[in-house]
């Protein structure tokens, strides 16, 4: 153990601990900005400078490892002066249109300014005299260089968590900036729109592109029937933007709030998640049959899940040769969208042209996905607007809804039923677990042999997970699988996805089925979820997801009565022609930059 | 003209495909092609299995790894204090008049680019400039005219 | 204060037989080599002045089979050109110094990082390196030197930025600790030394530490190669014993009208005429990596300061706030003061900013921008304002 003193209080910590972490142990708050719990130490912004007795200069608490006998002071005059200067300097290169900014009151720079830089501005405004770009090219987010303070959190996110590096630090000195490849628009580079950078940007330099006003317009339009769907991960995180602690489930209150906002039908993406399991599970079994029984060389295994649009764009850019391995199933959002303007409209006897389909997602990539030209199976744009969890919270606040005191209520019928299998889609390993619950039962006619149906080997925060399942006692149709060992793998965060894809590329992946979610922790850690994020917060959301599952009466996708009904009335069988028309898609090879 | 794809491959074979090969590869491209085209940077990114934005980010850090169009002869006139004191202004003026371009520009025949640069280490023989890698020192307008004429005849 | 006066020395460019010196060095232990360097009192000649013997001792102490000697030939400080001259004239002594350092710390690999501006020297340097490699192999050394070229970035002279550049990245300084002695290039223990330091080490082994340490003063042992430019009738390279006053220096090199000397380049200190007499050039007074610029009364110190600030605003790597934004604020600030767009008292705010940059910047660049700013503004305030 290393002994040191901070503000004259003694503390003992493990070697390798930083001064910042040691101070935290003493409940001494040192302000930070470029530091983020998910990312490596940068030590760039210098906001966290503190004084070390005997040192020539101040030290950055986030980057300085403790040493025996260190004497640290965090609040001397020297420290205060430097900190004030540093915050003022950052403000001088930041376009402070705070009252109009989407991040107003949620901006970390603003919070620091509030503490350290009130009063007269010391420095000259540097934003006014230099050109800057506001890149609105992506349907998912905006990149406003005039608000960027070069903390490089976004760059570290894109590299360390996502292995993409769609953005990097470019130029030097006064010209330094965060840039895509040679300043190309974000819509024309390798960016997956995952929004993890948006989730970690301390200012308004990276924010989601918001469609709140368009959704309000639709709601107020008496001619329109506005359908809303909510993704599984939204219900376990929305509360964070409305004053709850991470990990509170607010499903019922959220449904009531959506009704109060004026949505005409409040439905659940969980319904189409269950539908996805039916389609994807059948596709997997069919692929296995083609490969194992028919010896079909064109069919590829392992099959990859296709629910995560950030992941889809990643593989289109980075591993186009593996696109045939992707399940052709659309994501639950898009399956829902295709059905909302067909099946749902006809059931409700509404002109599909008058249906406005809105989805609330933990995700920014879903905005991009909805804009894909192939997502028009209904003859219309299947999903009109995608809101993030954060945007929904804004709308609830705008409407003056007293969220905490709302009576919980249920989703509407037809496409509002869900099962526990669908809920866990929101966490890494969840799609796999849901698929296994159903596929095992299809093949063997029995429930999967895990206590309470909890398939724990596929759960948890490990970057890459593996599991295998021996299949025994198959029903007649699936006899060819008798005795087979089904091998699966799961990765979340594209840096981990990349590890698996390398193996698959080299032919060294012994799996039949791989689940990938682009974001750390899966959708619960999505780019559209409340800010801030950290491993601890994501773990709380994950816990809430599994508890939601355990509280459901129905736990298996094939038992969802709305799903059973839609096959009976509309789609026929999973992977039928009708299902293919509406629920499946194709992919596009993209450039590598 | 030299095929770009081949050049990048050859340089990668020569220097290797590890990250530390990036600088020598980029330097090799600039030596042959005067500057880094977008295609060249994408090729390098593919060879080294890194992102193109990172290649651009690294290249744009270094003054001599130009990512903008440059001529066959890149003239870099030192603008740091001693050269500034000893007549850099006149040298620039002479070059601008002769080449009919301003600082930062490239002649339309893509033969010359004129830029200013920070200290090149010839303060005792100021003013000084580099043409590609060759230094020219103790410059006078007359001397500059002779030097540039020499290069013009080379083409 | 000890004052040795102005004495010319011929050590760095002295012709020696490298084979003889390296054969001698081959036979003595690493510890003995380090002791000789420690005894000589040699401090790094790049500008920062860290004791070379200690640097070697720390690197030698790390148990790791893979270590590096890096020669910092990224001489970019405005007004410094001595390393180019040294490489041009006595590259074999630079290589020799690297071999000696390698033996001392237990490294088999050496890398010379040469600034892009000196690329024209490379063919000749490589040729000399070939024959040098043959020579040391004959003696029995297992040591290989390679070249790594810079591409125009002043900050790469900062040791950890230089490592980043060798590794193929942007030349952005790292957080310290860890220091190069434990984690340098490729995260291996590394001794990184300036060109002149390595040559000096070779000369200490040639003549012995005692004779070397007789040169100079208590705080600044030995001699130093100076790069002299500006308003002087005799610009060029001069090797001088350390411990002279600026006055003595100006008497020798000035043009009779010297009003200020910038010691140590853009990141160094401006000494005005009234302080020439009582300022010693060396670690006890104004330290320098060798850059000495003389300005006579025809020069505007505003122009000098503006030129330096412009240099730093461009050459800062840009990663840390105090340096990236601070340099721009200083530059714009003095422009506004000069134009009368802000009150002259704004200079006081800028002085405080320079202080913050000194204590809060991540690396030596940002920490030293304030040196020139402070000393020029303090001594020539009226030239900045009017």
pLDDT in tens, chain A (593 residues): 999 999 999 999 999 999 999 999 999 999 999 999 999 999 999 999 999 999 999 999 999 999 999 999 999 999 999 999 999 999 999 999 999 999 999 999 999 999 998 888 899 999 988 889 999 999 999 999 999 999 999 999 999 999 999 999 999 999 999 999 999 999 999 999 999 999 999 999 999 999 999 999 999 999 999 999 999 999 999 999 999 999 999 999 999 999 999 999 999 999 999 999 999 999 999 999 999 899 999 999 999 999 999 999 999 999 999 999 999 999 999 999 999 999 999 999 999 999 999 999 999 999 999 999 999 999 999 999 999 999 999 999 999 999 999 999 999 988 999 999 999 999 999 999 999 999 999 999 999 999 999 999 999 999 999 999 999 999 999 999 999 999 999 999 999 999 999 999 999 999 999 999 999 999 999 999 999 999 999 999 999 999 999 999 999 999 999 999 999 999 999 999 999 999 999 999 999 99
Nearest CA in chain C to A40: C175
The CATH architecture annotation of domain C18-213 reads: 3-Layer(aba) Sandwich (3.40)
Confidence band, pLDDT 50/70/90 cuts, at residue B1 = very low
Instruction: Tell me how far apart the alpha carbons of residues A308 and A361 are, in angstroms, rounded to a whole number.
Output: 11
Q: How far is C42 from chain A (nearest CA, A)?
A: 22
Taking CB atoms and an 8 Å limit, are A172 and C352 in contact across chains? no
Dihedral over Cα of C18, C24, C30, C35: its sign: negative
Residue pairs spanning B and C at CB distance below 8 A: 116
Beta strands in A411-556, from DSSP E residues, in sequence order = 464-470, 485-492, 513-517
- Taking all residues of chain C, what is their mean pLDDT, rounded to a whole number? 97
Taking CB atoms and an 8 Å limit, are C84 and B121 in contact across chains? yes
Taking CB atoms and an 8 Å limit, are A86 and C177 in contact across chains? no
Q: Dihedral angle at the C-alpha atoms of A304, A306, A308, A312, nearest 10 degrees?
A: 80
**What is the third-level CATH fold of C301-380?**
de novo design (two linked rop proteins) (1.20.1440)
Instruction: Tell me how far apart the alpha carbons of residues A504 and A518 are, in angstroms, rounded to a whole number.
Output: 17
Taking CB atoms and an 8 Å limit, are C175 and A41 in contact across chains? yes
The structural domains of chain C, with segments of one domain joined by +, span: 18-213, 301-380
Flag whether residue C118 sits within 8 Å of chain B, measured between CB atoms. yes
Task: For residue A154, give both structure tokens.
Answer: 């976004």
User: Among A374, A472, A482, A581, which one carries the catalytic annotation?
Assistant: A374
Taking CB atoms and an 8 Å limit, are A165 and B60 in contact across chains? no
Q: Which residue has the tokens 């996502």?
A: A162
Buried b (16+ CB within 10 A) or exposed e, A262-291: ebbbbbbbbbbbbbbbbbbbbbbbebbbbb
Give the end-to-end CA distance of chain A in Å, rounded to a whole number.
47
Active site residue A240: no
C181-215 residue pLDDT tens:
999 999 999 999 999 999 999 999 999 999 999 99
**Cis ω on the peptide bond leading into residue B154 (within 30° of 0)?**
no
Active site residue A307: yes
Beta strands in chain C, from DSSP E residues, in sequence order = 68-73, 109-114, 144-149, 190-194, 223-230, 236-241, 258-263, 269-272, 291-296
Taking CB atoms and an 8 Å limit, are A172 and C361 in contact across chains? no
Taking CB atoms and an 8 Å limit, are A593 and B67 in contact across chains? no
Taking CB atoms and an 8 Å limit, are B53 and A171 in contact across chains? no
- Which contiguous run of DSSP H or E holds residue B10? helix B4-15
Active site residue A146: no
Query: For A89, phi and psi rounded to 5 degrees?
Result: -65, -45
Taking CB atoms and an 8 Å limit, are A57 and C319 in contact across chains? no
Active site residue A327: yes
Query: Which domains does chain B possess?
Result: 4-59 (no CATH), 73-154 (3.40.30.10)
Buried b (16+ CB within 10 A) or exposed e, C301-335: bbebbbbbbbbbbbbbbbbbbbbbbbbbbbbbbbb
Active site residue A441: no
Query: Which domains does chain A possess?
Result: 2-75 (3.10.20.740), 92-208 (3.30.70.20), 283-329+428-530+551-583 (3.40.950.10)
C79 closest CB neighbour out of B23, B123, B133 = B123
Task: Check residue A117 and give its pLDDT.
Answer: 84
Question: Which chain B residues touch C187 with a CB distance below 8 Å?
Answer: none
Flag whether residue A58 sits within 8 Å of chain C, measured between CB atoms. yes
Q: How far is A435 from chain B (nearest CA, A)?
A: 34
| Mean pLDDT of the B9-30 span | 98
Q: How far is B34 from chain A (nearest CA, A)?
A: 17
Against chain A, the chains showing at least 3 CB pairs within 8 Å are B, C
Task: Check residue B2 and give its pLDDT.
Answer: 53
Active site residue A523: yes
Say if residues C143 and C30 touch (Cβ distance below 8 Å). no
Taking CB atoms and an 8 Å limit, are A173 and C317 in contact across chains? yes
Question: Which chain B residues touch A179 with a CB distance below 8 Å?
Answer: 53, 56-57, 60
Nearest CA in chain C to B65: C151
Instruction: Tell me how far apart the alpha carbons of residues A335 and C344 are, in angstroms, rounded to a whole number.
Output: 67
Q: Dihedral angle at the C-alpha atoms of A329, A332, A333, A338, nearest 10 degrees?
A: 60
Taking CB atoms and an 8 Å limit, are C175 and A92 in contact across chains? no
Say if residues A339 and A415 touch (Cβ distance below 8 Å). yes
Nearest CA in chain B to C171: B61
Residue pairs spanning A and B at CB distance below 8 A: 56
Q: Tell me which of A154, A169, A170, A192 to substitute to probe the interface with B (most B C-beta atoms closer than 10 Å).
A: A170
Task: Check residue C1 and give its pLDDT.
Answer: 64
Flag whether residue C17 sits within 8 Å of chain A, measured between CB atoms. no
Name A178's bridge partners: A169
Taking CB atoms and an 8 Å limit, are C78 and B123 in contact across chains? yes
Q: Tell me which of A77, A85, A86, A150 to substitute to probe the interface with C (most C C-beta atoms closer than 10 Å).
A: A85
Say if residues C350 and C380 touch (Cβ distance below 8 Å). no
Name A52's bridge partners: A72
pTM attached to this predicted model: 0.97
Question: Which chain A residues touch C315 with a CB distance below 8 Å?
Answer: 172-173
A58 closest CB neighbour out of C175, C329, C360 = C360
Nearest CA in chain C to A43: C175
C258-279 residue pLDDT tens:
999 999 999 999 999 999 999 9
Flag whether residue A197 sits within 8 Å of chain B, measured between CB atoms. no
Task: Check residue A130 and give its pLDDT.
Answer: 85
Active site residue A363: no
| Mean pLDDT of the C221-235 span | 97
Q: Which residue has the tokens 């200069």?
A: A57
Q: How far is A163 from chain B (nearest CA, A)?
A: 9
Q: Tell me which of C160, C175, C343 to substitute to probe the interface with A (most A C-beta atoms closer than 10 Å).
A: C175
Name A3's bridge partners: A12
Instruction: Tell me how far apart the alpha carbons of residues A233 and A144 are, in angstroms, rounded to a whole number.
Output: 28
Count of C-beta atoms within a 10 Å radius of residue B4:
15
C307 closest CB neighbour out of B19, B62, B81 = B81
Task: Check residue B155 and give its pLDDT.
Answer: 65
C320-375 residue pLDDT tens:
999 999 999 999 999 999 999 999 999 999 999 999 999 999 999 999 999 999 99
Instruction: Tell me how far apart the alpha carbons of residues A432 and A468 are, in angstroms, rounded to a whole number.
Output: 12
| Mean pLDDT of the C28-45 span | 97
Instruction: Tell me how far apart the alpha carbons of residues C13 and C88 are, in angstroms, rounded to a whole number.
Output: 10
Give the end-to-end CA distance of chain C in Å, rounded to a whole number.
37
Instruction: Tell me how far apart the alpha carbons of residues A74 and A78 are, in angstroms, rounded to a whole number.
Output: 10
Question: Which chain C residues touch B125 with a CB distance below 8 Å?
Answer: 235
Flag whether residue A98 sits within 8 Å of chain C, measured between CB atoms. no
Q: How far is A589 from chain B (nearest CA, A)?
A: 16
Classify residue A224 as exposed, middle or buried by CB count within 10 Å of its CB (0-12, 13-18, 19+): middle
């Amino acid at each position: 153990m290393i002994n040191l003193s901070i503000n004259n209080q003694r503390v003992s910590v493990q070697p390798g601990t930083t001064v910042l972490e040691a101070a935290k142990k003493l409940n001494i708050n040192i302000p930070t900005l470029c530091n983020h719990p998910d990312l490596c130490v940068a030590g760039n912004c210098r906001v966290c400078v503190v004084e070390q007795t005997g040192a020539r200069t101040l030290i950055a608490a986030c980057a300085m490892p403790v040493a025996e006998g260190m004497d640290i002071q965090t609040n001397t005059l020297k420290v205060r002066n430097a900190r004030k200067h540093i915050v003022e300097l950052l403000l001088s290169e930041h376009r402070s249109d705070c009252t109009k900014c989407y991040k107003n009151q949620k901006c970390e720079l603003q919070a620091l300014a509030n503490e350290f830089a009130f009063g007269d501005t010391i420095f000259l405004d540097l934003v006014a005299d230099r050109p800057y770009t506001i890149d609105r090219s992506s349907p998912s987010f905006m990149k406003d260089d005039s608000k960027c303070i070069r903390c490089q959190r976004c760059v570290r996110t894109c590299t360390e968590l996502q292995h993409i590096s769609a953005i990097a630090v470019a130029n030097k000195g006064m010209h330094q900036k965060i840039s895509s490849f040679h300043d190309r628009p974000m819509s024309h580079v390798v960016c997956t729109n995952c929004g993890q950078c948006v989730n970690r940007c301390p200012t308004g330099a990276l924010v989601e592109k918001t469609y709140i006003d368009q959704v309000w317009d639709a709601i107020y339009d008496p001619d329109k029937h506005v359908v809303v769907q909510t993704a599984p991960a939204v219900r376990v995180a929305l509360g964070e933007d409305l004053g709850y602690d991470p990990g509170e489930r607010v499903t019922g209150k959220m449904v009531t709030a959506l009704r109060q906002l004026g949505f005409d039908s409040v439905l659940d993406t969980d319904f189409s998640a269950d539908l996805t399991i039916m389609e994807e599970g059948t596709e997997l079994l069919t692929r296995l049959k083609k490969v194992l029984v028919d010896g079909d060389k064109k069919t590829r295994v392992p099959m990859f899940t296709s629910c995560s649009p950030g992941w889809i764009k990643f593989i289109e850019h980075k591993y186009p040769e593996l696109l045939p391995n992707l399940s052709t199933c659309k994501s639950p959002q898009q399956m829902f969208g295709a059905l909302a303007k067909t099946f749902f409209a006809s059931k409700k006897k509404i002109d599909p042209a008058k249906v406005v389909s809105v989805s609330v997602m933990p995700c920014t990539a879903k905005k991009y996905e909805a804009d894909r030209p192939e997502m028009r199976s209904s003859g219309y744009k299947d999903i009109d607007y995608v809101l993030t969890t954060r945007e929904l919270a804004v709308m609830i606040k705008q409407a003056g809804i007293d969220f905490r005191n709302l009576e919980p209520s249920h989703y509407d019928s037809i496409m509002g039923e869900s099962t526990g299998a669908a809920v866990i889609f929101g966490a890494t390993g969840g799609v796999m677990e849901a698929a296994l619950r159903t596929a095992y039962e299809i093949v063997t006619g029995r429930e999967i042999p895990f206590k309470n149906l909890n398939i724990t080997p596929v759960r948890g925060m490990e970057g890459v997970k593996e599991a295998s399942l021996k299949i025994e006692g198959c029903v007649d149709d699936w006899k060819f699988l008798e005795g087979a060992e089904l091998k699966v793998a799961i990765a979340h965060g594209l840096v981990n996805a990349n590890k698996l894809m390398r193996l698959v590329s080299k032919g060294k992946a012994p799996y039949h089925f791989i689940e990938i979610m682009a974001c750390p922790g899966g959708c619960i850690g999505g780019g559209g979820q409340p800010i801030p994020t950290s491993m601890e917060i994501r773990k709380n959301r994950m816990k809430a997801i599994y508890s939601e599952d355990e509280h459901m009466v129905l736990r298996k996708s094939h038992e969802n009565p709305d799903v059973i009904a839609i096959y009976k009335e509309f789609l026929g069988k999973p992977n039928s022609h009708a299902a293919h028309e509406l629920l499946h898609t194709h992919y596009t090879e993209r450039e590598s930059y | 003209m030299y095929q770009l794809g081949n050049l990048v491959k050859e340089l990668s074979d020569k220097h290797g495909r590890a990250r530390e090969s990036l600088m020598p590869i980029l330097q090799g491209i600039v030596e042959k092609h005067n500057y880094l085209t977008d295609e060249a940077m994408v090729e390098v990114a593919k060879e080294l299995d890194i992102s193109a934005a990172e290649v651009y980010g690294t290249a744009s850090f270094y003054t001599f790894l130009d990512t903008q169009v440059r001529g066959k002869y890149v003239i870099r006139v030192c603008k740091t204090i001693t050269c500034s004191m000893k007549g850099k202004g006149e040298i620039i003026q002479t070059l601008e008049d002769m080449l009919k371009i301003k600082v930062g520009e490239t002649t339309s025949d893509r033969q010359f680019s004129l830029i200013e640069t920070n200290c090149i280490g010839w303060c005792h023989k100021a003013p000084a400039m580099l043409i590609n890698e060759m230094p020219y020192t103790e410059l006078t307008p007359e001397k500059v005219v002779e030097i540039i004429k020499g290069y013009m005849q080379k083409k | 204060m000890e004052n040795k006066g102005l004495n010319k020395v011929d050590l760095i460019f002295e012709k020696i037989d490298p084979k003889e010196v390296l054969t001698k060095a081959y036979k003595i232990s690493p510890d003995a080599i380090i002791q000789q360097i420690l005894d000589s009192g040699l401090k790094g000649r790049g500008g920062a002045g860290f004791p070379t013997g200690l640097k070697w001792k720390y690197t030698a102490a790390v148990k790791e089979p893979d270590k590096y000697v890096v020669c910092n030939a990224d001489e970019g400080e405005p007004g410094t050109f001595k390393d180019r001259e040294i490489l041009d004239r006595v590259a074999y002594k630079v290589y020799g110094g690297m071999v000696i350092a390698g033996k001392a710390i237990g490294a088999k690999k050496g890398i010379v990082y040469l600034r892009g501006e000196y690329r024209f020297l490379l063919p000749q340097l490589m040729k000399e390196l070939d024959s040098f490699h043959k020579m040391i192999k004959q003696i029995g050394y297992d040591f290989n030197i390679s070249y790594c070229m810079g591409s125009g970035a002043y900050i790469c002279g900062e040791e950890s930025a230089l490592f980043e550049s060798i590794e193929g990245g942007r030349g952005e300084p790292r957080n310290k600790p860890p220091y190069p002695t434990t984690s340098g290039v490729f995260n291996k223990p590394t001794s990184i030394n300036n060109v002149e330091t390595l040559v000096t080490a070779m000369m200490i082994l040639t003549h012995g530490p005692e004779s070397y340490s007789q040169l100079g003063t208590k705080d600044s042992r030995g001699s130093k190669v100076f790069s002299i430019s500006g308003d002087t009738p005799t610009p060029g390279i001069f090797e001088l014993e350390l411990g002279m006053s600026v006055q003595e220096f100006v008497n020798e090199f000035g043009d009779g009208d010297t009003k200020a000397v910038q010691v140590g380049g853009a990141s160094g200190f401006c000494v005005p005429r009234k302080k020439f007499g009582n300022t010693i050039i060396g670690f006890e007074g104004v330290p320098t990596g060798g850059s000495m610029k003389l300005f006579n009364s025809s020069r505007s110190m505003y122009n000098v300061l503006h030129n330096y600030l412009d240099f730093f605003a461009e050459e800062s790597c840009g990663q840390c706030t105090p340096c990236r934004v601070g340099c721009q604020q200083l530059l714009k600030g003095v422009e506004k003061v000069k134009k009368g767009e802000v009150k002259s008292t704004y200079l006081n705010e800028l002085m405080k900013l320079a202080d913050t940059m000194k204590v809060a910047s991540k690396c030596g660049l940002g920490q030293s921008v304030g040196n020139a700013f402070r000393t020029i503004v303090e001594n020539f305030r009226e030239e900045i304002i009017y």
